[in-house]
Chain A
């Protein structure tokens, strides 16, 4: 039952294998696309990924740092430039103050100097106006998002607003002062020198001081901005350190993760493959490796599966062969049992396998035995006929001799005495020869060969019983080797069986030959006896002396008795032989034609 289930499963697997190449069985292929790649590529990719993460982290930090340094240096550059401008502006304010006072001094003294003073004041005014207006228009932090960002990084976002306020303050004080200075210049131009002097004293100086003060506040604030940028730089460095650590952790985790995935993929599948091989080792020939991925391990798994499929197929084939052999051996065994029971009509199935060939050999042997039996039967019949004939002849001869003896002894004339005596002598001699021949025939021609035949038959029987044991062994045989070995042994047994049968046949032939030869001699001697006796019988017993006559009669009677006794003995032997072949049933029509009658025996047979 389990065997058939197993076979069915194996069949299913075989069809599966036949339908799709095992290399294309994509179980869980999509779950880990990494496994599609060769192991070397997997490892390379893993390390490349880690290197990429590390490089990316380092690069990111580098870029951040470069970016930050760039921003900072730009900021510092701007601050420095602004500082230079504003310091120049401060100088211009101071110069305007000095020049204004000088203008008041020069007024009414030197018209030329006054003109120079005026133009100087105007040019200073426009210079300073350019500086402060340019600063307010272009250089405020909140007009530069990158600078604002940098300040925000340092936690000083509010500084931009303060700067704007201070710039507003500087601008306002400057505009107020400039209004007064313009008025001053107007007064000078209009030659209101007293008004101009008053304006210079009461308004010019304090407003110039205000403008200077506001400008100084702005310059000083730029100094604070510089230290704020320093704070921002420190804060960014901290951020970069954190980024570096995070990148390092990521790279580490990346390396670890990729390594873990790869090793998991490789080690787990190798372990699974190992389990499969071990399971097969322990007899679970159904076990198969799962093919995951397309890399080397997957290839090995496919190969192992294919190998297992092949091995299982071979096992299956062997098992089928063994079953077929066992069945054939069973059939052969039953045939042999039938034949062993005596029915020689059985015919074993013939095929190309060893058992079939065995059956063929068996058939040949049985056929030979069958022919031998038929021949034996024929021979027995012939012998039977001959012995009966001989007995009746001897009976007739004895009756004749008795009759001749009871009638008055024949007086034989002189002329025939000598011949009669000679004839008597030869008859006696012939008769004794016949007796000798019959005796020899009985001793050697029949009995000895029969004994040999019986021995050979014994041997054949032993051989057949050994064969039977071999068959039993074959039926229980499990492995192909055993089957082959047993089959060889059986072939040997059959050969020895065949040899025994052959010997039986030979012996039977020899016995037939000898018996036939002996009987021929007997027949010839009897003929010779019959021929010299004719004249005597025809002449009417003229030449025999009474003494001789009595002697002849006696001898003849003895001879006839001996012949009768021999033929009876022969009958007994024939009965024995008939009884010994009686259990064998053979087709009446021998396919190879009737056994040819041997020699002169045919004559007896036909009579």
Chain B
């Protein structure tokens, strides 16, 4: 009897060890998206408060820089986590261990300088401004007689890639001005340049710029979670699949998914991952038809141009 009890206690103890918290220590380098950078920085601070022996270094540089850093073979440049607004192209980042962690959703917005009294633009109009160059003056869109000055991000920018994919339908965006490297700079540039139009993360936007609806749909939470507003992106944290072997990495990634960070994300104008809904069209069997209809409509719009 005693022996059995002892065995039971030992077994219970073994089971308990797996659950117990091990004190974490070490160093993490996080690099990439400037859109995600504020959230990751704040989350890292919180995490370091909880685990004093941990140091997390959060750097910007753009989404593709983050992907480059995480897949780098040079130990000096290698980051543990690459933040990205965009998907890693399997052709560019063929590392099979590259693992995607969707952390949150970042809503983007098309913004204009405050002196442009326009609240909504069609996607075709936006394409006319950025891709085709067919719209050169705001009076073409019922605005003041001001030249349209499109401002774009650099090629490394995830925001730019998202803008091209989900707003321009894959088309290029061009600007007579030099591309700008960060969202903050874009904000300043748009706020100070009359007739300027650009795009940035909604979390960065403030009252100094005017946020524009796309196709009459405002960048609001419900429109994004239901996927009616197109200009948003998943925020990715790419790793090389070491989260199972590296306890610190795994813990930090789990921490990013935790309710603490998710509510923090909400405060910082990101959208928590749990708020996202599968598109109704995908869940019902009419997904194909819807897709075709969408495609047809897009085609019509394009033909008008």
Majority DSSP secondary structure for residues of B touching A: helix
CA distance A224 to B273 in the complex (A): 19
What per-residue 1/0 map shows which CB atoms of A203-215 lie under 8 Å from chain B?
1101101101110
CB of B165 within 8 Å of the partner chain: yes
Contacts of A239 in B (CB 8 A): 15
Q: Within B151-199, which residues are at the interface with A (CB < 8 Å)?
A: 161, 164-166, 169-172
Contacts of B296 in A (CB 8 A): 182, 186
Contact (Cβ within 8 A) A175 B291:
yes
Contact (Cβ within 8 A) B234 A169:
yes
What per-residue 1/0 map shows which CB atoms of B271-291 lie under 8 Å from chain A?
001101111011101011001
What per-residue 1/0 map shows which CB atoms of A173-193 lie under 8 Å from chain B?
101101111110011001000
Kindly specify which of B34-42, B51-59, B88-96, B213-221 makes contact with the partner chain: B88-96
Tell which of A182, A210, A245 touches B8, judged by Cβ atoms closer than 8 Å. A245
Contact (Cβ within 8 A) B298 A207:
no
CB of B74 within 8 Å of the partner chain: no
Contact (Cβ within 8 A) B241 A213:
no
Specify the chain B residue showing the minimal Cβ separation from A237: B15
- Known A203-B170, A238-B11; contact A210-B287, beta-carbon cutoff 8 A: no
Contacts of A126 in B (CB 8 A): 288
Contact (Cβ within 8 A) B257 A162:
yes
Contacts of B76 in A (CB 8 A): none
CB of B87 within 8 Å of the partner chain: yes
Tell which of B4, B277, B299 touches A186, judged by Cβ atoms closer than 8 Å. B299
Contacts of B298 in A (CB 8 A): 179, 182-183
CA distance A167 to B234 in the complex (A): 12
Tell which of A172, A179, A216, A227 touches B294, judged by Cβ atoms closer than 8 Å. A179
Which among A133, A136, A224, A242 has the highest number of chain B CB atoms within 10 Å?
A: A133
Contact (Cβ within 8 A) A165 B283:
no
Contacts of A249 in B (CB 8 A): 1, 4-5, 8
Q: Within A125-184, which residues are at the interface with B (CB < 8 Å)?
A: 126, 129, 132-133, 136-137, 155, 158, 161-162, 164-169, 171-173, 175-176, 178-183
- Known A167-B278, A220-B99; contact A172-B227, beta-carbon cutoff 8 A: yes
Tell which of A129, A187, A241 touches B287, judged by Cβ atoms closer than 8 Å. A129
Contact (Cβ within 8 A) B1 A173:
no
Contact (Cβ within 8 A) A129 B291:
yes
Contacts of A136 in B (CB 8 A): 278, 282-283
Contact (Cβ within 8 A) A217 B100:
yes
CB of A246 within 8 Å of the partner chain: yes
CB of B292 within 8 Å of the partner chain: yes
CA distance A186 to B278 in the complex (A): 27
Contacts of B100 in A (CB 8 A): 166, 169, 213-214, 216-217, 220-221
Q: Within A224-238, which residues are at the interface with B (CB < 8 Å)?
A: 224, 227, 235, 238
Tell which of A132, A183, A213, A253 touches B169, judged by Cβ atoms closer than 8 Å. A183
CA distance A91 to B86 in the complex (A): 22
Contact (Cβ within 8 A) A209 B7:
no
CA distance A216 to B99 in the complex (A): 9
CB of B207 within 8 Å of the partner chain: no
Contacts of B170 in A (CB 8 A): 180, 199, 202-204, 206-207
What per-residue 1/0 map shows which CB atoms of A280-311 lie under 8 Å from chain B?
00000000000000000000000000000000
- Known A126-B288, A164-B278, A172-B227; contact A203-B169, beta-carbon cutoff 8 A: yes
CA distance A249 to B15 in the complex (A): 19
CB of A252 within 8 Å of the partner chain: yes
Shortest distance between the CB of B68 and any CB in chain A (Å): 15
Contact (Cβ within 8 A) B169 A179:
yes
Specify the chain B residue showing the minimal Cβ separation from A209: B89
- Known A183-B298, A242-B15, A245-B4; contact A209-B278, beta-carbon cutoff 8 A: no
Specify the chain A residue showing the minimal Cβ separation from B302: A183
CA distance A202 to B132 in the complex (A): 13
Contacts of A210 in B (CB 8 A): 86-87, 89, 165
Q: Within B223-248, which residues are at the interface with A (CB < 8 Å)?
A: 227, 234, 241, 244
CA distance A384 to B88 in the complex (A): 173
CB of A248 within 8 Å of the partner chain: yes
Shortest distance between the CB of A244 and any CB in chain B (Å): 9
Contact (Cβ within 8 A) A165 B276:
yes
Contact (Cβ within 8 A) B169 A209:
no
Contact (Cβ within 8 A) A213 B295:
no
CA distance A218 to B170 in the complex (A): 23
CB of B102 within 8 Å of the partner chain: yes
Contacts of B302 in A (CB 8 A): 183, 195
What per-residue 1/0 map shows which CB atoms of B67-84 lie under 8 Å from chain A?
000000000000000000
CB of B145 within 8 Å of the partner chain: no
Tell which of B227, B277, B287, B292 touches A133, judged by Cβ atoms closer than 8 Å. B287
Specify the chain B residue showing the minimal Cβ separation from A132: B282
- Known A167-B278, A172-B279, A245-B7; contact A206-B294, beta-carbon cutoff 8 A: no
Contact (Cβ within 8 A) A209 B254:
no
- Known A165-B276, A214-B100; contact A242-B294, beta-carbon cutoff 8 A: no
Contact (Cβ within 8 A) A179 B291:
yes
CA distance A238 to B18 in the complex (A): 11
Specify the chain A residue showing the minimal Cβ separation from B254: A158
CA distance A190 to B300 in the complex (A): 12
- Known A212-B90, A213-B90, A214-B100; contact A133-B285, beta-carbon cutoff 8 A: yes
Contact (Cβ within 8 A) B86 A242:
no
Shortest distance between the CB of B87 and any CB in chain A (Å): 4
Shortest distance between the CB of B127 and any CB in chain A (Å): 11
List the 9 shortest-distance A-B pairs measured between CB atoms, nearest first.
Answer: A203-B170, A182-B295, A217-B100, A213-B87, A209-B89, A210-B87, A245-B8, A186-B299, A238-B15
Give me 20 A-to-B residue pairs in the complex whose CB atoms sit less than 8 angstroms apart, sorted by A's number.
Answer: A161-B274, A162-B102, A165-B276, A166-B100, A168-B277, A168-B279, A179-B295, A182-B291, A182-B296, A198-B171, A209-B87, A209-B91, A210-B86, A216-B100, A217-B87, A217-B102, A227-B244, A239-B15, A242-B8, A246-B8
A209-B91, A249-B1 given; 8 more Cβ-contact pairs under 8 Å: A137-B283, A137-B285, A168-B278, A171-B278, A179-B298, A190-B303, A210-B86, A245-B4
